[in-house]
Structures are given as C-alpha cells and as structure tokens.
Structure 1
Amino acid sequence: MELSDRSVLVTGGAGLVGSALARRLATENDVLVVDDLSNGVRESVPEAAEFVEGDVASDETLERVVTSDLDIVVHCAAADKYVNSDEPRSQFESNVAMTHSLLERVSTVGVSDVVFTSSSTVYGEAPRPTPEDYAPLEPISVYGAAKLAEESILSVYAHTRDVTVWNFRFANVVAPRVGAGVIPDFVEKLERDPETLTILGNGRQEKSYMHVEDCVDAIHHVVERAPSSAGPMQTYNLGTKTTTSVDRIADIVSEEMTLDPAYEYTGGDRGWTGDVPKMRLSIEKLAALGWEPEHSSDEAVRKVARELVRR
C-alpha cells in the first residue's frame, strides 16, 4: 500500500510513537490526529497535522474523526500506558472496549486498512529471539494481556469484515521525551542526586531498545512493501538484534552526564510486577522485507540519553 496522498487518522497521535508516526506521515499525506492528552503532549503533534482533542472510546469522538473519507487508521491510543497500572481491570477493559468501538466505526464507514501498535509483552516470558509465530502467548502483565485481547479483536475484524490489519509488536521504543521510560527516569534521578542512582530490580534485566525513528521507519516500510498475499492480519516484530542491560543503560546515561554515581538496587530480577526480565524479538520477518534498524540497542539508548542531557 502506498503511503502518499492518503487520508490518515492517527489515534494517540500526541503520544511517543503516535506523534512520531504523525510527523512522518504528514510529509506526504493528509493527517488527522486525535488524542485526549491524558498521556500525550499537545506540542508533540506536528503542525502539518490537524488535531482533535477527544477520547477515542467516545462514540461522539469516533463519529467526528472516523469518516468514509479516511484511507487508513493508525491506532496508537492506549487508555493507560503504564505496565503496572494501579487499576488493572480498568486498564484492561478500557483498552479493549476502545479498540472494539474503533473497529465497529471503521467497519461501519468502510475504512479497509488499520495499523495497530502492539507490544512484545504479549509473548510473556518466551525463548529468545522470539518469532511472531511463537506460542502459546502467555502475557504476565495487564498491559500485555490488554494488547493481546486487542490483537484478537483486530483479527476477528480482519477475517470477517474485509479489513487489512498491520499488527506491530514493539520492543522497548525509546525517544528523548520526559516520562518515557528508563532513560529519562535515570536522567531525572541523576539531575536530582548526581551521587546515587536507584535502579529497580538487580540491574541485570536485559532487553532490546529501539529508537523511535527506527520504529516509525520500519512501520512505514512494512505497510508499503508487505505483500497483500500475506493475509488480512499481518503481524511483525519491531526491534533490534542486540540487547542492553539496565546496568548498561545506567552506565551510558552516567557517561553522557559525565557522572560516576553509586548504584543502589531495589532487588529481585524484575523491575516491577509483570516485568519480563529478558526480551529479544526475532526480526527475521522484517528483514525479509529489506529493512534493518539503523541503531543497535546500545546506540539507541545513547542517542536518546545524549539528546535528553543536551536539551
């Protein structure tokens, strides 16, 4: 599918990935962003995109933004971005209901193409590198369970309502944005106390970190080049071939801030309830379409740390 001269809706387009996607798509398409700004930042929405502040779970908002003029919906909105939500039932039910309502509206007006931003957390604790066809999928966090439930609803609509779905399971996507994960968290902690850095868990958790620019480029590449013969529900892992430990992230951030703090640990092999200690996705399916990430995991971490420190 060509991604030029299209009418595109980006839900959650003020968020970390959504805003980056909106910025990329707005260079060649008419882009409408909808976001209730509960997690997003208004200033992140590109000036070239039209913006509607609204809740995607609301029928009123959906009727306003999902029309027959649309060519594609990019669904990045999430009711709660935190993996260890204090209200797990609300997080699960809100996200699933929102996606279901969006798909009902998409089906009603006849939009035939949907991009969904899922997560590696749907796999749970799986062998590494984890391929897209790994089973059984047994998420251990509410966030992962919600994403898997949303994938299931998307699959139903893809197979019964003439909708093509591109489903992307992300590794840890990083960007120079305050509040966006472990890197800005370490920067903020060291700005407050340059002598000591508290690290959740034991520091040996090891995962793949993907720069948001690579993430957006990969999505764009797949949507344009994936063969229609691949079926109505196409799932792709997005990540890097390398991993970075939490201790290594702490080292990189400290180096970029020219600090040498003492590390303190909260203990255990998980940073929080539902945390997967080690994660690396297979990206062979992505590579078969001719795409490779520009940044390794360490390089993505350093790039973001450097941009945050110099902001």
Structure 2
Amino acid sequence: MKIFITGAGGFLGKNIIRKLINTSNHAIYATSLNSEIMAEFESRILFIPNDAVSDFDFSEVDIVINCAFPRAADGAGYAQGLDFLNELFKKIQPHTNCGMIDISSQSLYSSMRTEAAAENTQKVLEAVYDVGKYCMEILIDARLADHKRVHLRLASLIGPKFDQRIINRFVKLVIAEEDITINGGQQLFGFLDVRDCADAICAVINQWDRIDTSGQVYNVGAEESNSLKTIADIAVQVGSQFGYDNSKVLVKESDEWKNTSLDGRKFYNFFSWKPQYKLVDTTKSIYEYDLNL
C-alpha cells in the first residue's frame, strides 16, 4: 500500500513511521513543517514539503493518515492550519480510492465528565483546539463523503520527549530529587502510550478492507484510567528503581475535578486489538530517555 502521513514530524507521526518501517513494506510519503524527520528515516520515506503538497498526485495513494493540526498556535496559526488541511482534502477529493484515517481527540468530550466517554457521549468543545478538531471531522466527512474513512479520537498520548504531559513533569521532579505536590489527586486521566497508538493505527491499516464510507468513529485509549495521585505515586515508585528515592508525594486538599478517560471497547472489539503498555511501562521508558540509558 501507499500511505501518506501529514504532520509526520510530530510526536505521533514519527512513531507511526517507525512502526510502519519495522513491520511492513508499505511505501510511505510524509509531509511536515519539520524537515528534520528526513535525517532519522533517510531513504525509508519520501518527504514532501508542506508547500509542495498542492502539486502531489494522490491518485495512487491508498490511505492518508492525517496527524496535522496546530497544537499550540495563535489565531493566525490555527487559520493557516485549517486552510492547509482544507486544500489537502480538496486535492484528495477526486480520488475516491484514497482513504483517510483522521487523528482526532478525546478533548471533544467534556473534561468534567463523570465516566469514561464513549463514541456517543455528548461532545462539549471547551477550547479552540477542540473546535478545530471537530471541524476537521466535519470537513473530512463533507469533502470525502465518497471515500473510505475513519475518525480516531485518541486518549492523551504519553511517552519520552513529550514533556507537556504531567507524567513527564513528575519524572523530572523525581530526577531533580524534589517532592511532587498535587491538588486533590482524585482527577482521572486517560493516557495512551504513543507506541500503542501507532500499533492501533497499523491495526486499522491491516484491516482496511473492513472500513467503509460511513465515517466510522472510534475512541482509542488505554483500558484503565489513573488518578492524579496514582500517577504521582507511579513516578516516585519507578524513580526508586533508578536510584531516585528522595521524592515524596504531597497532597493538598482540594475538590478539583477532571476526567479525560475514554471507553475504547468499540475499537478493541472491532479490530481485535488491545493496548500493551501500562502507565508503569511508559514511565520507565521516560526515565530511560531522560537519564540517557
């Protein structure tokens, strides 16, 4: 198959490329604002600069994996990102053989939910990023109505080099031999190891004959969510395995609430897939990276 990956230089995009290179013989085309991905993957992919996508021939591409979306941008950045993707979808539109795996987000659901969100849970768009992600789902369904396509609403991805996540910040505190102070601790987080996410996307590719033109939606997340207190405890416990045992978890009383957990059973059942990495496993990999082991 010929697979075209947008946002290929991002956290998820690079992991998808690694997984595809290691487990398949698919031809991989990649576009990104980050041309440095060429240095890592060399001749294993064909790199297409973002400004050259408008000239690319999608007639022989089987699947586009759309990871591109500005995560931390101002209003102009979001507008530019949406314009780029709209033009991309227009370019793909005449080629109905070209399918789409849309990388969407759990953030389409309320962060104040009381239980893990299922695909039919009411959407509550709380931030500009969330509005943009939902607009992408709508735009893809409108532009590519005759194409095989699937929307994957991902749990918050975690792994080494993704320091915006709280588990990465806790690991850095433990390495610095500082205490971890949290408010409340009962907040729930639904994380997914980025390696599992790449594997889940490959499961979709491997069963592409089962995808139709209805715009199927699936949540993709870990089987278990973890409280903020559990996440902090795991950071400390795993840190002790690496010789860092001076940090404690300090809990300030608070009724703060947050819940980003997902119900991924629909995806598990349809694709006969389950995540392999627990939070402890991911935390170990973050320590190993941060300690250059």
TM tier, shorter chain?
0.7 to 0.9
Counterparts of 1:134-153 in structure 2 under 5 Å? 134-135=121-122, 137-153=123-139
After TM superposition, the score normalised by the length of structure 2 is 0.83
Q: Measured at CA, do residues 190 and 61 of structure 1 come closer, stay the same or move farther in structure 2, by a change above 3 Å? A: farther
* C-alpha distance after superposition, 1:41-95 (max 9, x if no partner): 665557522223x33xxxx42124453232221111122x24xx5x3x3354333
Instruction: Say which of 165, 168, 171 aligns to 1:184.
Output: 168
Matched residue SS, 1:292 = coil
Q: Match for residue 93 of structure 1?
A: 79
Task: Look up the match of 2:187.
Answer: 205
Structure 1: distance between partners of 2:157 and 2:40: 16
Among candidates 44, 64, 70, match of residue 48 of structure 1: 44
Provide structure 1 residue ranges, at least 5 long, that are not aligned to the other structure: 1-5, 271-275
2:151 maps to 167
Q: Which runs of 4+ in 1 moved over 6 A?
A: 264-270
Q: Distance in 2 between matches of 1:291 and 1:17?
A: 18
Unaligned runs of 5+ residues in structure 2 are none
Residues 121 and 266 (structure 1 numbering): CA distance in 2 closer, same or farther, change over 3 Å? farther
> CA separation in 2, counterparts of 1:42 and 1:268?
47
| Distance in structure 1 (CA, Å) of the matches to 2:263 and 2:42 | 32
Q: Distance in 2 between matches of 1:19 and 1:234?
A: 25
Asked whether 1:235 is paired with 2:217, we answer yes
> Are the counterparts in 2 of residues 187 and 253 from structure 1 also a CA contact under 8 Å?
yes
CA distance in 2, matches of 1:268, 1:214: 33
Query: Match for residue 224 of structure 1?
Result: 206
TM superposition shift of 1:243 = 0.9
CA contact under 8 A between 1:187 and 1:308: conserved in structure 2?
no
Alpha-carbon distance between aligned partners in 2 of 1:202 and 1:41, rounded to the nearest angstrom = 40
1:12 corresponds to: 7
Q: Offset of 1:129 from its aligned partner?
A: 2.2
1:73 and 2:55 aligned: no
Residue 20 of structure 1 aligns with an amino acid whose one-letter code is N
Residue matched to 1:24: 19
With over 3 angstroms needed to count, the CA separation of the structure-2 counterparts of 1:167 and 1:269, relative to structure 1, is: farther
Match of 2:100 among 104, 114, 135: 114
Give distance in 2, aligned partners of 1:177 and 1:73.
Answer: 25
1:37 and 2:34 correspond: yes
1:237 deviates by: 0.6
Contact 2:61/2:98 (<8 A) preserved = no
